[in-house]
A and B are shown apart, each in its own frame.
Chain A
Amino acid sequence: NAGVMQNPRHLVRRRGQEARLRCSPMKGHSHVYWYRQLPEEGLKFMVYLQKENIIDESGMPKERFSAEFPKEGPSILRIQQVVRGDSAAYFCASSPQTGPNTEAFFGQGTRLTVV
């Protein structure tokens, strides 16, 4: 049973370009969470999605960032017109359900560098 798969592992973009980060949850998991880790900081929640629905996007920046989790295929975190401050590690996690004793499993992350 493969774990949470994120790709690419490393992504370099020039300022103003678009970045697309992909996350395939573990088999049987229908809940996906995206986190961002800036240098020297802990992980910060960005968005929580279930298939075809955004459940909680309270941690998403108001502009340039969007996320989706289509019926088929991976979840996508899209950052438009990237700026240097977007450079960070982006982690995806998945869980089979919500509620007590339901830990989320994390992928290895995508390290975005904006030059």
Chain B
Amino acid sequence: DQQVKQNSPSLSVQEGRISILNCDYTNSMFDYFLWYKKYPAEGPTFLISISSIKDKNEDGRFTVFLNKSAKHLSLHIVPSQPGDSAVYFCAAPAGGTSYGKLTFGQGTILTVHP
């Protein structure tokens, strides 16, 4: 049962344009969401998060939008840079008070072309 889904395995964007990565979830109990970025041969790095009491959270070039009714969130990167090329995972804490027990999506490979 894939409770967090990233249906686009890959995304290719030109440098300077907007990258939009999408994520859907099925568990209505999820109340906090995180985006992680992962380079090859490295561990995931926390990027940005959003609580379900908000519909938007912004940090520099990164903005996450949450649509609770649609059980959908998206990560916007503007402007995209070649260094943003990585795998992006959305994740949600699996319940309880432990925010280290996460349910991850399958990931989206972002490639930003110069």
Chain A contact residues, CB within 8 Å of chain B: 4, 6, 31, 33, 35, 40-45, 48, 55-56, 91, 93-95, 98-109, 111
Contacts and interface: CB of A to CB of B under 8 A. Distances in A.
A108 B42 contact: yes
A45 B34 contact: no
A107 B94 CA distance: 20
B106 A105 contact: no
15 contacts: A4-B43, A31-B98, A35-B104, A48-B98, A48-B100, A55-B98, A94-B100, A95-B100, A98-B100, A100-B51, A103-B49, A104-B102, A108-B41, A109-B41, A111-B41
Given A42-B104, A42-B105, A42-B107, A105 B98 contact: no
Contacts of A33: 100-102
Interface in B20-67: 32, 34, 36, 41-46, 49, 51
Contact of B97 (A44, A94, A98, A103): A98
What band does the interface of chain B fall in when counting residues whose beta carbon is under 8 Å from A?
A: 20 to 34
B52 to A, nearest CB: 11
Nearest to B99: A102
Interface of B: 4, 6, 32, 34, 36, 41-46, 49, 51, 89, 94, 96-107
A100 B94 contact: no
For A42, A43, A95, which residue has the most chain B Cβ atoms within 10 angstroms?
Answer: A42
A94 B43 CA distance: 12
B44 A41 contact: no
A107 to B, nearest CB: 5
A99 B44 CA distance: 20
Contacts of A6: 43
Contacts of A45: 94, 101-103
Contact of B104 (A40, A44, A94): A44
Contact of B42 (A95, A105, A109): A109
B46 A43 contact: no
A111 B99 CA distance: 25
Contacts of B34: 103
